[in-house]
Amino acid sequence: MKAATLLLALLLAGAVGAQAESRFSRPVIKPVNDKELAHFKLDGNNIAVQSKGSIGVSCIVYRGTKRYYVEIGVLNQSDAPIALQRGFARFTKPGYTVFQSDTIASAMDVSASVAGPFVPAPPPPPTTTTTYNATATTYGNTTQVQGTATTTNNAGWYQLGQAIAARRYYAAQSREQSFATYLQMFANEQQTLEIAPKGVQLYIFTFEQIKNKKAPFTVTIQVADQQFTFAYKE
């Protein structure tokens, strides 16, 4: 729970100016009214915050090739516990069918996408370079040529390219495995729905749409009798 505590402990800490660009190598989508919202900074991301009474809510949305990832933090500053309803976050994109997917299954999909060792590309047909070094000597009407021919193999460039590709693959594999672990750790399905007095909790939701098109959308979060809406435009 240390990560969640760190995340929400900075809620209401005040606005910061820099724009976040990506999270886990996925582009972050900013709220339409981002400049009007308070923020806190985490991992180089400026995360939007809304507050009503004793409740604070943060929200950051980033998009992968298949789904949207929505991280929601809830801060309870009151002296009484708050009970959330399962599915307290809604993702609405007018004109498109969007559904909430299982976060644990999404984590497994991320992990599976980079499973296994690096597989090098098939080598190209072998190529060689031949260099001739010769001396010609003429005796009367006869010319004699003496020298050497040196042939070298050009496979070294292929090997270098594969070494670079392997390094990039394993770096991406490590990053994606870390992301999958993060999703599993804070999947909304795994978290308690009761937030203790002065407590904080982080929830991650994943959403998918039938037709993968960019368009304005909203994330609506219901906490007790308070509703928080974050509007986005891709």
Specify the pLDDT at position 124: 66
Q: How confident is the model at residue 166 (pLDDT cuts 50, 70, 90)?
A: confident
> Which residue type, as a one-letter code, is found at position 40?
F
Report the b/e string of 137-150 with b at 16+ CB within 10 A.
eeeeeeeeeeeeee
Quickly list H helices, 15-155. 103-112
What mean pLDDT is predicted for residues 64-87?
95
Q: What residue ranges define each of the domains in the chain, with the CATH number in brackets?
A: 2-114+184-232 (2.60.40.1150)
| Mean residue pLDDT across the chain | 82
Tens-digit pLDDT profile for residues 191-231: 999 999 999 999 999 999 998 899 999 999 999 999 999 99
Specify the pLDDT at position 16: 40
pLDDT at 122 over 90: no
Q: How confident is the model at residue 48 (pLDDT cuts 50, 70, 90)?
A: very high
Tens-digit pLDDT profile for residues 87-113: 999 999 999 999 999 999 999 999 888
Enter the pTM of the model: 0.74
What mean pLDDT is predicted for residues 57-74?
96
Q: Greater confidence, 18 or 25?
A: 25
Please state, for a pLDDT cut of 70, what percent of the chain lies above it: 72
By C-alpha distance, which of 17, 12, 13 is closest to 34? 17
- d(C-alpha 113, C-alpha 179), whole Å: 12
Q: Which single residue is written with the structure tokens 């098939």? A: 122
Please state, for a pLDDT cut of 90, what percent of the chain lies above it: 59
Specify the pLDDT at position 172: 67
- d(C-alpha 107, C-alpha 125), whole Å: 40
* Cross-strand bridge partners of residue 115: none
